[in-house]
Amino acid sequence: MVSKPYQRIPIQDCGEPLVPIPLEQFAVVDPHPYAVLGAPYGERSPYYVRQGVLQALIQAQQHLQHHHPGWRIQIFDAYRPIAVQQFMVDHTYDQLLAKWQHEQGTEKMPPKDQLLDQVYQFWAAPSHDLTTPPPHSTGAAIDITLVNHQQQVVDMGSAIDEISERSYPNHFAHQPGGEIVHHHRTLLTQAMQSAGFRQHPKEWWHFSLGDQLWAWLGLNSNKSANCPADTSAVAYYGRAT
């Protein structure tokens, strides 16, 4: 497993607490998709983020609704402890293995390393090292989509967590017939960027604020009064406790 470039970003956690997302203000995927699979959340709700991230999320939705009244951000996933990260990595590997065996047959030896490489293109390693926390374990990353004024989920061209190039944010920019999908993704991106979030380069649904990936992507301002003013080379959210 190869480490990712953003994991070299140093962390100086600013100490903000995890706070519950007020789900009545947003749309939400219910029941929670990973909990349904049996992911071990224990007593901790997945719908938690750092305090400054929540403030920015509310700001992003206000931006969205200013331009598109009645539209809302739909929360798919937020805080994810290490045990859940491990569970989902294993689950995703099992899915890819089953697909490979269906196509190649069960007699052949599966290419475990190649399948794991596919998994880790989209899932962060469930590292217990405090210097390399999975983004969702920090409370600074969130997976989202949009619902329109009729409270219908808009077409984003691929499902959240789909392991394919269709998940890349700009995949549909120049695809024949992809204009509407690309427009929807652009609306989501613009709303989140207006509040200081940064988008995962391979996942249209994943946004973060203040974690290592965010810092690595070059964002050098923050939306939390409790954190340093200049964090261009430092993450101010580490693994949440």
- Catalytically active residues, by annotation: 203
The three-state DSSP-derived secondary structure of the chain is CCCCHHHHCCECCCCCCEEECCHHHCEECCCCHHHHHCCCCCCCCCCEEEHHHHHHHHHHHHHHHHHCCCCEEEEEECCCCHHHHHHHHHHHHHHHHHHHHHHHCCCCCCCHHHHHHHHHHHCCCCCCCCCCCCHHHHCCEEEEEEECCCCCECCCCCCCCCCCHHHCCCCCCCCCCCHHHHHHHHHHHHHHHHCCCEECCCCCCEEECCCHHHHHCCCCCCCCCCCCCCCCCCECCCCCC
The answer to whether 71 and 27 have CB atoms below 8 angstroms apart is no
Distances (CA, A) of 101 to 95, 106, 117, 164: 10, 5, 17, 18
Tell me: cis bond preceding 135? Omega within 30 of 0 counts.
no
